[in-house]
Structure 1
């Protein structure tokens, strides 16, 4: 352990020196925050900003169990309705809308106020979804449930550009060497935890109802999703705008989008493409999940059995996310992503190549183990680090929009995957093994592409990258004639009274 500790310390020091050299070469003055072992490991803004993504995991996963219950309760009326597919998919459309809208709102108005609005949307429409009703019409109720799910998606979308970005900026106030770990813990890890709880709650509710009272089961399972946003809303009332946003936001100025596009456009394309690929390919992995469950329990098994095993499968996400979170501090997010997708691609090729043997009922244990490793590696690599890279490879003034666009393109990838993979499976024809193998050959190949994109086209991200990136962008704006004294001001603020970094009025600044 001492060897790894020395290696980690040396790596962080080298990384900091490289970043400082870049800043000095560009003749940029950077006032770095004091770094001390006495700095906290966690703060309220980090928790309050990032933890809202728990709702993303819970609400997206619980709907699968809700669909299972609705199929048992309403039979063909549910199975043959258009709402069956819409209820699950429409939340993606709402999330994309929310990511784009709140990305602009978070940059042009406020991180914290944007978060409060998204939390209210989450709470209200999750409650409405749980109470879905339409004048006694079952089909009408299905349609109303789909409509409320769209608005729930908008609330979830707001958590990405406002919450994750605010969390990333707030990690500058915690101890160096733990900033990536804490960010990942309260973003991707908590999404994964939401998935686990989203599978576990229907199990508990089904057990409490003795596998009966189906209407109560799905409404309670959805309704419990209101609890976390309510608690989070109270926490967020005490959160103030972080220092980076106050110093470097463009909320009081007209954003120079042409300069931003020239400076960050290529990087945004790469980050968005990696996120698109990650979300696109994860939808093929459901093939293995359904195979495991089909082999574990026979048709007609009680809901407690189905939901119990679903919880176990979702637990596979957690080890990779938690172990990868600290590895991101040691290796850096870029190399952690490359390592994760490369190993995942290798396991994917093995699983696809040996699918005929692994999918046999007597191989369920081995299948589940390999599948668990496969899921964990996905979280270790892109699951943990693509959001971190999106949050920390852009300047504060446009970070919400940059992150929102990248996240929205990722969600579009997930949506596209639901339509494309059936065609990839169909290419296998009547060969059942080939139909299952082809999607994984495609997915593993795309994982290798992600690794290459990250290796050649993404920058390293260190502990203090946000401060250095703001300095680098500020220098670029000045070189192109943009007045950087506008940064960090409200629209109604006077440029004749700008506070310096110590909070003292500086009357020299003017247009």
Structure 2
């Protein structure tokens, strides 16, 4: 194997080491829908419905995620990307295990559900931390030496959003396999193991990250040791942050409730069948449709660009959503047709905003405040997910089940319009250019940029690495 090929493989592997932990986001958010179905079968729907536990379990994880995004956005910028990533995976591993071990005093079901809710909140903090730490690091690694300029966006999408979607798929499949193993008489083992297995990927990623270093861009342009001029930053990036945050809010408002409640919707359209094999099986089929859109979108984004790939996905998703709303009654009479059309709806969402919101959030902002910019935008997105789980959850009527598709499709069109009007397109090596422009902007406004970076030696090394990258690309 040639040295250049080894360098490329190492560069790509670093992107995945940063982004792969987002698998835990997809798994944690996807698994709770099936767990709720199991809890209702074990303890009774009336008991679980008391105090609205079903929606509470789903939405508290989002609340924790928001805390994690905002807190670790600051930690990512001021302490370091690696510290944030290692802490995040540790939190996910710990509280995935404790979620599985949830129990109430003297066997109280209410106590069990309360502990599970609390553990889901704390788990959400770790999941949220991955966005401004792991995802941001993945974006910075995507522009380091060894990465083909025409594949920078692709590797980021494959290492981040595709990992989230793969987590959704695995989260749908795991309860089905465990149910095959344990059967109806051991459903408690099924839901506990479904949650507990979330420990495994978190620990594997923790080990993978042990020998990582900070990205070159962070070493050169961070404000770890400098005062962050928030007023100047808001003047330059406030409008971009608002536009990206708004579209992220709309995306999560649409996609997360549909993913979480897919098993509930299938339960409704299969006539409230008692067969968990049927419910979980169709849930797997539906969640598999996340992957084609995410994978195809990852290979399209470097050609259309993140902005126009996102707009394309949103408009196609809206078309499918309106179709599902108009023909819902007919589709529910043909479960296979419903699953396919519903899956295509989810797939276009991943092709567009799923793959590209993270790209736009991370590569629109400068390195110095990238973690906080990304964390704020993603947190506002999760507010949309939080609101969506309460707005759309638990309906058993035709109007209640079609409403989300009418609303979601309309919001997808609105999001496409906002993206077209207010979000700038990205280019290859855009972060490097943005960092230079940001320094010039700060200097023009009297800010001392000499304190940026994490040390004179590392800045020199970073500059040499960029020069080496440029020279090798010119030779190629």
Q: How far apart in 2 are the matches of 1:290 and 1:134?
A: 26
Pairing 1:442–2:407 present: yes
Deviation at 1:438, TM superposition (A): 4.0
Q: Secondary structure at the match of 1:52?
A: helix
Deviation at 1:437, TM superposition (A): 4.0
Pairing 1:131–2:71 present: no
The farther-off stretch of 84-93 and 309-318 is 84-93
Q: 1:338 aligns with which of 311, 316, 333?
A: 311
Matched with 2:237 is: 264
Q: 1:300 aligns with which of 259, 264, 274?
A: 274
Structure ranking higher in helix proportion:
2
Q: How far apart in 2 are the matches of 1:335 and 1:82?
A: 40
Pairing 1:60–2:29 present: yes
Matches within 5 A, 1:29-108: 40=8, 42-75=11-44, 76-108=46-78
Q: How far apart in 1 are the matches of 2:448 and 2:175?
A: 55
- Tell me if the contact between 2:20 and 2:159 (Cα under 8 Å) persists in the aligned partners: yes
Q: Secondary structure at the match of 2:8?
A: coil
Deviation at 1:100, TM superposition (A): 0.1
Deviation at 1:226, TM superposition (A): 0.3
Matched with 2:469 is: none
Pairing 1:165–2:136 present: yes
Pairing 1:175–2:140 present: no
- Tell me if the contact between 1:176 and 1:463 (Cα under 8 Å) persists in the aligned partners: yes
Pairing 1:367–2:338 present: yes
Cα deviations by residue, 1:392-424 (Å, 9 ceiling, x for unpaired): 11000000000000000000011122334479x
- Tell me if the contact between 2:34 and 2:263 (Cα under 8 Å) persists in the aligned partners: no
Unaligned ranges ≥5, structure 2: 466-476
Deviation at 1:468, TM superposition (A): 1.1
Q: 2:433 aligns with which of 446, 468, 474?
A: 468
Matched with 1:33 is: none
Deviation at 1:375, TM superposition (A): 1.2
Q: Relative to structure 1, is the Cα distance of residues 39 and 177 closer, same or farther in structure 2, using a 3 angstrom cutoff?
A: farther
Q: How far apart in 2 are the matches of 1:369 and 1:409?
A: 30
Q: Relative to structure 1, is the Cα distance of residues 365 and 216 closer, same or farther in structure 2, using a 3 angstrom cutoff?
A: closer
- Tell me if the contact between 1:116 and 1:233 (Cα under 8 Å) persists in the aligned partners: yes
Matched with 2:468 is: none
Matches within 5 A, 1:403-414: 403-414=374-385
Q: State the superposition RMSD in angstroms.
A: 2.4
Matches within 5 A, 1:223-372: 223-282=196-255, 285=258, 290-296=264-270, 299-301=273-275, 303-359=276-332, 361=333, 363-372=334-343
Deviation at 1:79, TM superposition (A): 3.4
Pairing 1:191–2:164 present: yes
Q: Relative to structure 1, is the Cα distance of residues 393 and 351 closer, same or farther in structure 2, using a 3 angstrom cutoff?
A: same
Deviation at 1:282, TM superposition (A): 2.5
Greater gyration radius: 1
Cα deviations by residue, 1:327-367 (Å, 9 ceiling, x for unpaired): 001110000001110111122222222334333x1x33332
TM-score (norm 1): 0.84
Q: Secondary structure at the match of 2:16?
A: helix
Matched with 1:153 is: 124
**For this pair of structures, how many residues does the alignment match?**
455
TM-score (norm 2): 0.90
Q: Relative to structure 1, is the Cα distance of residues 315 and 496 closer, same or farther in structure 2, using a 3 angstrom cutoff?
A: closer
Matched with 2:416 is: 451
Q: Relative to structure 1, is the Cα distance of residues 141 and 356 closer, same or farther in structure 2, using a 3 angstrom cutoff?
A: closer
Q: How far apart in 1 are the matches of 2:350 and 2:182?
A: 34
- Tell me if the contact between 1:211 and 1:304 (Cα under 8 Å) persists in the aligned partners: no
Matched with 2:173 is: 200
